Structure 1
């Protein structure tokens, strides 16, 4: 994956220096939507088998349960992806890799620490209203320091490849379709539970 250093002002097209370069910053919206994709994917992977095994009439999954279960599962899903591939499915779609400063993949311990830090410091345990405040604080820190506090503490860098507009469009369509399908299944379940 060609790596682009977006902190550099040099606009030369030297591909060898691009491949060696790891940047410590990516476009914030790409990271945000990559995480959103991953959370929706984990929700989809968890929710659909429950409906297949127990059926919609016997399953009463509430939003509260979903807000507790999905982040818990995600804490294990995300590090697993980082250790094996250096990216989660969402980050892969946005051409983002999460790596050590030397370009190697994260260890399991470091990946779990990072996931916990994101859950606590970046997403305030997913608690409504607090998550907005935590996201704002993390974004401000990112704007000032060009990296998030947990990545700075753990010495993690991001490598970002070239991403085309078609890839962004396709990824956002997948997010829309998965979330719409989850919404449809949730509504279907709610209609037939009573």
Structure 2
């Protein structure tokens, strides 16, 4: 039998009678809902029809189980909490910047040993734009081959697909490109800070950094090792000091030229720097 309904002031249907029963069972229709079928002379309340009258009493008559035990409810709640993926944001941040700082130290040292003009390089943003490209190429291979970089190894982190498999080389390259562009903004000062801030908010919102969300990757973690953390701190300090040894005198010269009122402040510094090559002697070394 086909049934017509009045829904939101409009005629709706026809519906088979079993669908009407299903709607009554799921409380989608009340007993005063107006219906019509072949044989009726006018719209009639569904609860007054012999065909459906008994359906409205079934739900209340059906036996209901008692409430769940408190222990079961608590276990279910704890399982939901445990199922929430961990993001390891602090460990990932320091692993990332240990890798980048160590690479940058090697890059600046190579520039120095090659006799390049360090001062000119510091002031030329277009020269610094491709600076991290070799690193991210190396990172792609390392993630594909080992699932981690040196920094991630020290932090006990591993990158893999959501199903636990290793990333293909193509997937690892795309991940590294997204990190370089949206994660650190090519390492350009304020742009880098802006990108990291946006990445943090995005991760809080969707549960993963955008590069892992788009690639369907995840980062797993082992218990942190105090020895590895100590090694990471020492390496980070050493890499930062190595960069300063190369860049320091040139950055001081740039600052003195921009802010001559602080010349005496810089001249009192006791920084440890490499001898300056192929560039005018910085003001700090003048007598």
TM range (shorter): 0.7 to 0.9
Aligned twin of 1:183: 244
Q: Please say which structure displays the higher CA radius of gyration.
A: 2
Which segment is superposed worse, 165-174 or 135-144?
Answer: 165-174
SS at match of 2:179: helix
Unaligned runs of 5+ in 1: 1-6, 11-20
Aligned twin of 2:129: 68
Higher helix share: 1
2:148 corresponds to 1:84:
no
Q: Stretches of 4+ moved more than 6 A in 1?
A: none
| 1:29-178 alignment runs, 5 A limit | 29-52=90-113, 54=114, 58-61=115-118, 62-63=121-122, 64=125, 67-178=128-239
Q: Which has the higher contact order (CA 8 A, sep 6+)?
A: 1
SS at match of 2:164: coil
SS at match of 1:102: coil
The whole-number CA distance in structure 2 between the counterparts of 1:8 and 1:51 is 54
The whole-number CA distance in structure 2 between the counterparts of 1:171 and 1:47 is 20
Unaligned runs of 5+ in 2: 1-78, 249-272, 281-287
SS at match of 1:129: helix
Contact 2:129–2:188 under 8 Å retained in 1: no
CA-atom RMSD, angstroms?
Answer: 2.5
Note the alpha carbon deviations across 1:95-150, whole angstroms, 9 max, x for none.
11111112222111111111111122222233332222221111011112221122
Contact 1:24–1:157 under 8 Å retained in 2: no
Higher strand share: 2
TM-score normalized with structure 2 length:
0.54
